[in-house]
Structure 1
Amino acid sequence: MPCASPTFAQAPAATNTHPIVVLLSVDGLANFYLDDPKAEIPHLRGLMKEGVRAQSMKASLPTVTWPNHTTLVTGVQPGKHGVLGNQVLDRATGEIVPFMIDPIYNKEELVQSPTIYDVAKEAGMKTAALIWPATRGAKTLDWTVPDVGNIKLVEQHATPSLLKEFSEAGIPWEKQEEWWATKRIRERDGMFVQMAKHVLSKHQPHLLLMHLVELDHTQHGKGPNTPEAYEALKAADERVGEMWEFLKTTLPGRATLIVVSDHGFYPWRQAILPNVLLRQEKLLRAIGSKITTDSKVRAVDQGGSSFIYIRDKENRASIAESLIAKFKEVEGISAVLTPEQFAPYGLGDPATTDRVPDLVLTAKSGYAFFDVAGGDVVVMPKEERLRGTHGYNPDEPAMQATFVAVGAGIQAGARLGDISNTSIAPTLAALLGLKMPSADGPVLQEVLETKAAE
């Protein structure tokens, strides 16, 4: 382990008696794993017995990391909070705008709805987030290391005093980029757990958000329900157990642990290339492998779904009608969603928000979308290699996410059926004695020992 003997400075217990809520996201922890006899997850199953588990949790469309982590902390769907995908198209420039690993925008520029940490901070509470998406530069986080792509951005946007504390405690925060590049993801996740322990011990924030990524990374490369995925799942379970044991020991009777995920997973062996079809229809132009920015229509992949942007405003309706018919004939596409069908998915309206696509394609299991425009094949031949992805329709059972809660304020043994990820932020607020007035989802009253006031 990278931090064999970290030192945790203890805050005076007499002056810190407030509740502490920890939201721990295990990226890619599909709900189906909780019932899988092959899954070695004794800690998660122990938490389920000691606390409460949702039968399933519906994610947001597209079922990818950035929009779903933002829904978890805002309680609203992507069309409201503005983080519509891992990437979107700038209609004016024709360029793809990446959101994932926050390369461009600070939180205030990207997230358009109040977050639970905004609400907590406004109420005078202390807040922290470690490797949580879409938090770069967040002014309402007292202690933060954002989920950014390189060490320069970490140095620029993490809390300076916190980085100094990590160094003094022997936590090698400066290794984040190197360990990602060298595929030491498990060690990296382990380091984030050490960071969380340090923050909780020294600062005791009312709210801590944290994000572990190895399971997602492994399933992308090897597929779900594979030996490699089960091994990564076992490691993630050990991290969860480590956090709960720490909370019980260090903050007895005060801490609540909520374990969630952002989406499920599907295996795939065939790639669908919508931009090839668009090029064949003379709606998109490519020079070599590069799609030109003067293209009339552009597909932007979200793994198991694809956003179709029609930039030709005058002919938008006729182009959309033609493309709907053509995409419905493509092998591997399960649905072509039009703006009239967006409302149940909370995607917003392309007529009022430029980043909202004009059409959304969703794939079947076994297929994934890619932004390739070269060649003459729209659906590639089946590959021998198995991989995995997400982004598919959230109504698909395999896309269901995980919710497990235990600790202070949680009604042990409560029965909780199918829920939405829009209920997480208001439930966190209720545990802290707060309200999220803008949330789409209700408070999960069934899990609370003392029901929140209406």
Structure 2
Amino acid sequence: MHNRLRTLLAAFSVLVLSACAGTQRPVAAIAVEARTPVTILISVDGLRPDYLDRGVSPNINALAASGVKASMRPSFPSLTFSNHHSLVTGLRPDRHGIVDNTMVDARRPDVRFTLGDPRQSLDPFWWDEAEPIWVTAEKAGIRTGTMFWPGSEVAIHGTRPQDWLRYDKAVSGTQRINTVLDWMRRPAAIRPRFVTLYFDTVDTAGHELGPDAPETTAAFAEVDRHVGELVAGLKALGQPANIVLVSDHGMGATADERVIRIDRMIAPDVGTIVTEGPLSGVNALPGKDGAVAATLLAPHDHMQCWRKGTLPARFAYGKNPRVPEFLCLAASGWAIQARDREHILKGMHGYDPAEPDMAAVFIAAGPAITSGAALPVFDNVDVYPLLARLVGIAPIAGSDGRAETLSPILKPAD
């Protein structure tokens, strides 16, 4: 930086001396860097498409107006870690291995993967069944940076983004935006060409207070202001960007009285309750398979259960060994609970992805994106081949994502 400053001062001195001497020789123009477009993937966790109609998101709506907007179907289960990993791998959870926010694996019978246990959530063991796009890009010599994204803190296949931060909910939206803009101020050689940016506040408010609460709308308005700061900052830097803004799932309203107590159906000496919420998974203890089946596979009000091998085919779920042996899915608005809780969340996700409240958002805008293309509802794994195309890498073979879904939104190559 000091050498660059000295060079600029020297050039300025030459210009001043030439002007003072009255020379008529033409002065060469100072070269302006022609910046390569960066691809920025933004997740607004828990953002439902109808939130865009609440009149508090002028910046995000402007992005949509300049590019394309669509509703997107999350992968099953409609949970945070599972769907964030599907977006960046192009694989459904059954194939990429992050089958739930809470998991067990027979190879490690004494531990459990949970969001709150960094010893497990940061262990590559859980993540190495798939390769996220930043790993593929880094292998291809393309620098990446992640301003938070589930899994980006982990050395997946031995590789992390060259710029990454450990998730900290206390890092404000302004700090997150400023970090990305600081990356864009770097010299081209060390400037990321693919960036992720993650906002959690809309999801947090939706859980605690419900999707229709004014606080949830206010949280979305705040995220919209941050997106406006990002767009303005990129413009000031002369940095072109292809922005892809998504959510991982929507949010459904719940209530204290809409609770199913699965722990009162499955005793600890009969089965292990692995997960709870809209989706509950149960593993039978040795010799207790019949007892668990008799209890769970019977008809229930507001809940349906299956053996994992008999789930509806449209869920594309149940073959991964980490999926519990029995799965119970609550009806929309209901929660399956495995313990006493003082406070029932007012909003949840994890329901059938076909439920309207589970719909996710897709918006794309930038120099490579056409404007006004109409898109039907599509599966979120289809975002991955679009990102690969924008970043300039070949997608991993065997992806569940279909390139033809979003290829119509790309401008023809010059």
The TM-score bracket by the shorter chain reads 0.7 to 0.9
Letter in 2 for 1:445: S
Alignment of 1:1-400 (within 5 A): 17-34=35-52, 36=53, 38-54=54-70, 56-91=71-106, 93=109, 96-99=112-115, 102-106=118-122, 108-111=124-127, 112-138=129-155, 139-147=159-167, 176=168, 179=170, 188-202=172-186, 203-252=190-239, 254-269=240-255, 270-279=258-267, 284=268, 295-312=269-286, 314-316=287-289, 318-326=290-298, 328-329=299-300, 331-333=301-303, 336=306, 338-341=308-311, 343-349=313-319, 353=321, 355-372=322-339, 387-400=346-359
**3-state SS of 1:229 partner:** helix
Asked if 1 retains the 8 angstrom alpha-carbon contact of 2:270 and 2:292, the reply is no
Separation in 2, partners of 1:103, 1:94 = 13
- Alignment correspondent of 1:409: 368
**3-state SS of 1:21 partner:** strand
Q: Which stretch shifts more, 23-32 or 431-440? A: 431-440
Letter in 2 for 1:424: V
Structure 1 segments unaligned to the other structure (5+ residues): 1-8, 148-175, 180-186, 285-294, 375-379
Mark the CA change 1:107 to 1:201 in structure 2 (over 3 Å): closer, same or farther. Answer: farther
Give, in angstroms, the shift of residue 345 of structure 1.
2.1
Give, in angstroms, the shift of residue 397 of structure 1.
1.0
- Alignment correspondent of 1:173: none
**3-state SS of 1:366 partner:** coil
- Alignment correspondent of 2:24: none
Give, in angstroms, the shift of residue 105 of structure 1.
4.1
Separation in 1, partners of 2:137, 2:356 = 33
Between Structure 1 and Structure 2, how many residues are aligned?
Answer: 373
Separation in 2, partners of 1:87, 1:346 = 19
Give, in angstroms, the shift of residue 361 of structure 1.
1.4
**3-state SS of 1:417 partner:** coil
Mark the CA change 1:116 to 1:51 in structure 2 (over 3 Å): closer, same or farther. Answer: same
**3-state SS of 2:266 partner:** helix
Q: Which stretch shifts more, 196-205 or 118-127? A: 196-205
Separation in 2, partners of 1:13, 1:79 = 51
Separation in 1, partners of 2:104, 2:66 = 45
What is the TM-score normalised by the length of structure 1?
0.75
Separation in 1, partners of 2:325, 2:39 = 39
- Alignment correspondent of 2:18: none
- Alignment correspondent of 1:445: 407
Give, in angstroms, the shift of residue 396 of structure 1.
0.7
Mark the CA change 1:33 to 1:77 in structure 2 (over 3 Å): closer, same or farther. Answer: same
Give, in angstroms, the shift of residue 333 of structure 1.
1.6
Separation in 2, partners of 1:124, 1:224 = 42
Asked if 1 retains the 8 angstrom alpha-carbon contact of 2:297 and 2:305, the reply is no
Give, in angstroms, the shift of residue 143 of structure 1.
0.3
- Alignment correspondent of 2:19: none
Give, in angstroms, the shift of residue 393 of structure 1.
1.1
Structure exhibiting the larger radius of gyration computed from Cα positions: 2
Kindly report structure 1 stretches of 4+ aligned residues shifted beyond 6 Å. 12-16, 383-386
- Alignment correspondent of 1:433: 392
Mark the CA change 1:39 to 1:101 in structure 2 (over 3 Å): closer, same or farther. Answer: farther
Asked if 2 retains the 8 angstrom alpha-carbon contact of 1:129 and 1:146, the reply is no
Give, in angstroms, the shift of residue 360 of structure 1.
1.9
What is the TM-score normalised by the length of structure 2?
0.82
Give, in angstroms, the shift of residue 451 of structure 1.
6.9
Separation in 2, partners of 1:427, 1:384 = 41
Give, in angstroms, the shift of residue 364 of structure 1.
2.0
Separation in 1, partners of 2:399, 2:105 = 28
Identity, in percent, stands at: 27
Separation in 2, partners of 1:387, 1:236 = 21
Letter in 2 for 1:345: F
Per-residue CA shift, 1:81-111, capped at 9, x if unaligned?
1111111134564654314574424363222
Asked if 2 retains the 8 angstrom alpha-carbon contact of 1:52 and 1:406, the reply is yes
Mark the CA change 1:49 to 1:271 in structure 2 (over 3 Å): closer, same or farther. Answer: same
Give, in angstroms, the shift of residue 359 of structure 1.
2.1
Asked if 2 retains the 8 angstrom alpha-carbon contact of 1:445 and 1:451, the reply is no
**3-state SS of 1:211 partner:** strand
CA RMSD of the aligned region, Å? 2.8
Separation in 2, partners of 1:298, 1:334 = 18
**3-state SS of 1:361 partner:** strand
Asked if 2 retains the 8 angstrom alpha-carbon contact of 1:299 and 1:306, the reply is yes
Mark the CA change 1:347 to 1:229 in structure 2 (over 3 Å): closer, same or farther. Answer: same
Per-residue CA shift, 1:14-42, capped at 9, x if unaligned?
677333100000011112223x3x34111
Mark the CA change 1:322 to 1:84 in structure 2 (over 3 Å): closer, same or farther. Answer: same
Give, in angstroms, the shift of residue 439 of structure 1.
1.7
Mark the CA change 1:324 to 1:389 in structure 2 (over 3 Å): closer, same or farther. Answer: same
Separation in 2, partners of 1:102, 1:53 = 35
Structure 2 segments unaligned to the other structure (5+ residues): 6-29
